[in-house]
Amino acid sequence: MQPRAIEAPNEKQKQFFTATTRYIAYGGARGGGKSWAVRKKAVLMALYYPGIKMLLVRRTYMELRENHILPLMAELKGIAEYKETQKSFCFANGSRLRFGYCDHEEDVLQYQGQEFDVIFIDEATQLTKFQYDTLSACLRGANAFPKRIYLTCNPGGVGHDWVKRLFILRQYKNSEKAQDYTFIPARVYDNRVLLERDPGYVQMLENLPEDLRRAWLDGDWNVFAGQYFTEFRENIHVVKPFEIPKNWRRYFAMDYGLDMLAGYWIAMDETGKAYVYREVYQSGLIVSEAADVILQKTCETVNAFLAPPDLWNRRQDTGKSVAEIFAQKGIFLTKAQNSRVQGWLDLKEWLKPRKNPDGGWEANLQIFPCCTNLIRCLPALRYDERNGNDCAREPHEITHGPDAIRYFVAGRPLPAGKQKEGEEEDYESQLEEFLNYGI
């Protein structure tokens, strides 16, 4: 039986259908016709490539059933047979479309060792980076079929950061190649069928509060539902680098573990504004190596090195604390407060945009563009579902940089003192003033 005629795709859906890179993401805003495009692309590939093996994944089985299985059961009558026990559509030409879900982190492990020619991940930002990586490892096969992963996505969710990095920021690591990734942005205005049939949906999106409207209607990846630091605006908080005056106070704040050393050099002017001007973001460093990296990157006098209290705990392997090992290297750490909620609330105040005398916008904390990981991670933090005043601890990778900045603001840093022309700064008295601040 010949396949039934389908609705004509809109221009963005056509781009999705015809893209040929290994990784193709479609979406950004709500109402762009993403699920429809996934179903149709899967069916077209099943019919065009006899014997192709495909997997369609969504976070929960209920979402999978309502958004894909039930619509396809109606659309594929006489074309493919749905087998409930296998959660698969089997086509007469030998092609197979299997369905899977990853409600829990470990659910994805059921696909280890399996091979698929094409993988569809619907609402990819609902999956963790570990789940995505595990699924990506299943994309292989010694045949002539195309090997592709198709993703749909909206801003927000536990996978917001990795999707944004790969497809929006286009920042690649290790063997990742820019030419392998395609992003097709789509908004509700691209979906003419929805505009005609449900204009009320569009009006609902247009009337949302600003943050939700920017995420759901405009597809703005710098804001999303559940975002903790809604204050963050790249055009306000990221500033053009400049030469920092010698009389400004310098601080270094860090979050350290074997999984990541995230450290930031921060300067404060006379008005209390802070500028994050250098970054170290490196994993796999033992304590002495971390100290060496910091020393190598430090080319100025630093008034205080701020670190969390757990770095004063003695380690079982050496009997020494991280603070002791750093001190042996010549870095004397200052213990910062570690109240998570208070620290995050303080940081929100530092990030709060305000009008400057010229009519533009500024904030008390601003960042140089070279601090790429901080710029990436700060807006990606979400609220903790159990404590609305706290940040979520997962995905863990994006918490290191913000934690380091939290230790900085918790240290109650002092602004620069007024320096007369030709006068050298008294760093020892500044350090004593800093250590005794608030006592």
| 227 is a domain residue | no
Shared domain check, 365 and 331: yes
Q: What is the pLDDT of residues 402-435, one digit of tens each?
A: 999 999 999 878 888 755 444 444 445 544 544 4
- Show Cβ contacts of residue 144 under 8 Å, excluding neighbours closer than 6 positions: none
Tell me how far CA of residue 268 lies from CA of 34, 235, 345, in angstroms: 46, 20, 20
Please indicate, yes or no, whether residues 16 and 129 belong to a single structural domain of this protein: yes
| pLDDT attached to residue 130 | 92
Same domain? 367 vs 246: yes
Asked if the structure places residue 354 within a domain, the reply is yes
Question: Is there a domain that residue 223 lies in?
Answer: no
Give me the chain's average pLDDT, please. 89
212 and 246 share a domain?
no
Q: What CATH number should be reported for the domain holding residue 299? A: 3.30.420.280
Within this chain, do residues 359 and 324 fall inside the same structural domain, yes or no?
yes
Q: What's the pLDDT at 228?
A: 92
Can you tell me the distance from the alpha carbon of 286 to that of 181, in angstroms, rounded to the nearest whole number?
Answer: 34
The domain that holds 26 is classified in CATH as 3.40.50.300
Percent of the chain residues past pLDDT 70, beyond the cut: 93
Shared-domain flag, residues 144 and 247: no
- Out of 154-158, 173-177, 255-259, 376-380, pick the least confident: 154-158
Q: Are residues 181 and 287 in the same domain?
A: no
Give helix 11-18 / helix 34-48 axis angle, nearest 10°: 40
Which of 216, 246, 266 is at the close of a domain?
216
Does some domain include residue 222? no
> Domain range holding 410?
234-417+424-435
Whole-model pTM: value is 0.69
Q: Are residues 34 and 79 in the same domain?
A: yes
pLDDT at 175 over 70: yes
Domain membership of residue 379 (yes or no) is yes
Assess if residue 76 is contained within a domain: yes
Domain count, the chain: 2
Task: Map residue 430 onto helix, strand or coil.
Answer: helix
Residue-wise burial string across 197-213, b where 16 or more C-beta atoms lie within 10 A, e elsewhere: eeeeebeebeeeeeebb
Q: Are residues 301 and 396 in the same domain?
A: yes
Enumerate the β-bridge partners of residue 89: 82, 97
Q: What is the pLDDT of residues 294-322, one digit of tens each?
A: 999 999 999 999 999 999 998 777 789 99
Residues 292, 169, single domain; the answer is no
pLDDT at position 4: 54
